[in-house]
Structure 1
């Protein structure tokens, strides 16, 4: 009797194994890496040598004098860009304008006084909160990147993990 049950289930196991193998080979053969950026933000930053960042003033973390932002958040973004072989082209504006620019593909990253309670989470991908940023008044700040650009977000968050002192 065992051989009868085995013979009935064996074809199902063969099919399941074949399907699993086919899917594994297809994904491996595609050269897909995870995380990925559907719109290629991180690849574009690396290949063009330019990170387009938006900044909005927040305490001493981002201070804006004309079109030139400065402060600890600005330094973090510029140092991150340098680590990726890029320089930063800054756009200074209010949060809503910067989120519009992020959606339109005009900026790659937005920094400012956004917290994890940001109202922009339906229009931008929000990083996890980072406490310990000088000038942020003890607040845990988040960063915005285009929706779905997971490689950009992951690479930036990893950089921040290594360069921000404080509790995470």
Structure 2
């Protein structure tokens, strides 16, 4: 009889602990909301800065995806960037260069986005944030393409992915 009473007490104790933890989680969420903390957030404010302003984009030549001849890059990826820029009321400025040069500029805060033939297997994952992989981009040829963003700029990344999801699907 004693063991069954102890089982009831311990089950009741576990339920009370779960309730208490749930209440604490709710209080923490309310506190964060009251403090104006947004999730996801951008530690460097990329989305806020580009919205209604300038979207600085690096473009790496990739036949069929990014053509860099002419006054501004053309192709499916630059068109997706222009579509995203429209959603945040930004004007796009372009910088053409090599992967190394543009990823370094992204890290240094000189660029907001880098496009090219990057796949979800890119070695730049150690130095840049990546969008989800997108296979439905014209001329992707079955590759899962990603765009590079500054590390930690999650609100910017989320807004970009929403735009890409609408244009090419997830």
Q: 1:121 aligns to what? A: 125
Shift of 1:32: 1.7
2:33 to 13, 20, 28: 28
The CA distance in 2 between the partners of 1:143 and 1:18, in whole Å, is 39
Q: Is the 8 A contact 2:83 2:163 kept in 1?
A: no
1:146 to 150, 160, 165: 150
Q: 1:131 aligns to what? A: 135
Q: 1:39 aligns to what? A: 44
Q: Is the 8 A contact 1:67 1:91 kept in 2?
A: no
Q: 2:159 aligns to what? A: 155
1:95 to 79, 95, 99: 99
Instruction: Kindly provide the CA deviation profile for residues 10-34 of structure 1, in whole angstroms up to 9, marking residues without a partner as x.
Output: xx96986875565233212112221
5+ long unaligned stretches in structure 2:
none
| TM value normalised by structure 2 | 0.82
The CA distance in 2 between the partners of 1:138 and 1:18, in whole Å, is 47
Shift of 1:70: 0.8
The alignment of Structure 1 onto Structure 2 pairs a total of residues equal to 159
Q: Is the 8 A contact 2:106 2:149 kept in 1?
A: yes
3-state DSSP of counterpart to 1:81: helix
The 4+ residue runs of structure 1 with deviation greater than 4 A are: 12-22
Shift of 1:129: 0.7
Q: Is the 8 A contact 2:66 2:75 kept in 1?
A: yes
Q: Is the 8 A contact 1:58 1:136 kept in 2?
A: no
1:52 to 31, 53, 56: 56
Root-mean-square deviation (Å): 2.5
